[in-house]
Amino acid sequence: MDKLWLIIKREYLNKVRNRTFVIMTFVSPLIFVAVAVVVGLLTSVNNDTVRKVAILDETAQFSNLFEDTDRTDYITIDNSIEQAITASNEAGYYGLLHVSSDNGKLGEITFYSNDAPNESYINDIERTIEKKATEANLITSGIDLKKLDDAKVDKTIKLQNYLGVQSSKKVGYVKMIFGGAAGYLLMMFIIIYGNMVMRSVIEEKTNRIIEIIVSSVKPIYLMVGKIIGTSLAGITQFLIWLILGLILYTVAISFLGIDAMSSPSTDIATQQLQDMDQMELIINDILQLPLGTLVLCFFIYFIGGYLLYASIYTAIGAAVDNETDTQQFMLPIIIPLILAMYVGFFTVMDNPEGTVATVFSYIPLTSPIVMLMRIPFGVVSWWEILISVVLLYASIIAVAWLASKIYRVGILMYGKKTNWKELYKWLKY
């Protein structure tokens, strides 16, 4: 046991002191923030120029509907259409809106421009004109617009479950975000730290220190110590990111938050009030999630899933002489992970109780991710989780046992091209 502790300590310190690790830990959050800021800046720069749109309105009913906005200035012109097109083009206008008249009534509407304008902008124009024209028609037909308005009914359906708990319409998204984030985090952790374990096994082989170590400790100790040491380093990294994230978040809130509050126009205020209502419901949604179960299960599946895959990664590392040879063995790792993510994002979101979703939340290679995605929907009963966890941990023991057999043989094999058949033979040594 002392020796296992020694190995864990060495593996941990070795990872944590590594320059790349330190840089990754502290620089990647900054990169993340920097990328977000740059993207934000670029978007705002992208929308910076005010474009000019000429309006040639033969009916003279609609041009006054278009008011200048931050991004668009409207210029009403009064030419023949041919002249208008030439003039707009020469003046470098973004576009020309031509509303033709059909015997004094609304005719064809055309938007001339060099670039294809985006759909929502065109939709806005259509809606504005349609509304005005419809109103005009209604008036012509002798309908009182005010009465019509009064007669309109606008209802929002409130969502509530049988126990009387309210939720927002976005509840599905909230559940998806929580489940998806948990599953995605787990997948990333498995890939990043699994690879790290594998590289460390290969390193010991290429350094030729492995035989010295295994003449002092049993290979299984080295393997277990390596997996635990590396995962502790990973957890350290995650904790640092969490703390950095919280700090950055606090800083961002204290700057931006005050900024947003300083100029509350009435419009924004009502909007905010509505948002607040919506926010409250969303927070309510979050609180209604099986949070306790989710957090507990997150740890159980996180550890289980990582251990399962790390065992496979160790065996692969032992089987090869260098990293390029690992490719052929990567499929059994990547396929279940990708499958789990697809099942999670499509099948589970569609029907968390469906057969496919249920089956995949039992299969050990996919259960950590799929089950974590199912849990937020609150449809998983405790015995389902129990079965899935028992299956997962039982298979960890089985896979780790097999992996340790391959590991034991593989670490002492040099310069031999390994294939699946060879690995199978090693299991019987």
Q: Which stretch binds another protein (CB under 8 A): 112-120, 176-184, 203-211, 356-364?
A: 203-211
Q: Which stretch binds another protein (CB under 8 A): 35-43, 122-130, 201-209, 278-286?
A: 201-209
Joined together, the tokens standing for residue 288 give 């209604």
Residue 208 as a binder of another protein (CB under 8 A): the answer is yes
Q: Which residues contact 280 (CB under 8 A, 6 or more apart)?
A: none
Interacting residue with another protein among 207, 263, 324, 327 (CB under 8 A): 207
Compute the distance between CA of residue 310 and CA of residue 399 in angstroms, rounded to an integer: 10
Q: Measured from the CB of residue 11, what is the shortest distance to another protein in angstroms? A: 11
Q: Which stretch binds another protein (CB under 8 A): 1-9, 71-79, 153-161, 399-407?
A: 1-9
Joined together, the tokens standing for residue 230 give 């590396």
Q: What is the 3-state secondary structure (H, E, C) of 208-257?
A: CCHHHHHCCCCHHHHHHHHHHHHHHHHHHHHHHHHHHHHHHHHHHHHHHH
Is residue 202 within 8 A of residue 316, CB to CB? The reply is no
Q: Which residues contact 356 (CB under 8 A, 6 or more apart)?
A: 343, 347
Residue number, 34 or 212, with CB nearest to another protein: 212
Residue 141 as a binder of another protein (CB under 8 A): the answer is no
Q: Measured from the CB of residue 326, what is the shortest distance to another protein in angstroms? A: 20
Residue 244 as a binder of another protein (CB under 8 A): the answer is no
Residue number, 200 or 367, with CB nearest to another protein: 200
Residue 212 as a binder of another protein (CB under 8 A): the answer is yes
Residue 209 as a binder of another protein (CB under 8 A): the answer is yes
Joined together, the tokens standing for residue 29 give 């959050």
Interacting residue with another protein among 97, 214, 333, 399 (CB under 8 A): 214
Residue 429 as a binder of another protein (CB under 8 A): the answer is yes
Interacting residue with another protein among 211, 275, 277, 280 (CB under 8 A): 211
Compute the distance between CA of residue 100 and CA of residue 82 in angstroms, rounded to an integer: 13
Q: Which ranges of 322-376 does DSSP label H, i.e. alpha helix?
A: 327-342, 349-350, 355-360, 367-374
Is residue 374 within 8 A of residue 179, CB to CB? The reply is yes
Q: Catalog residues that contact another protein under the rule CB under 8 A.
A: 3, 6-7, 10, 14, 18, 204, 207-209, 211-219, 408, 412, 414, 425, 428-429
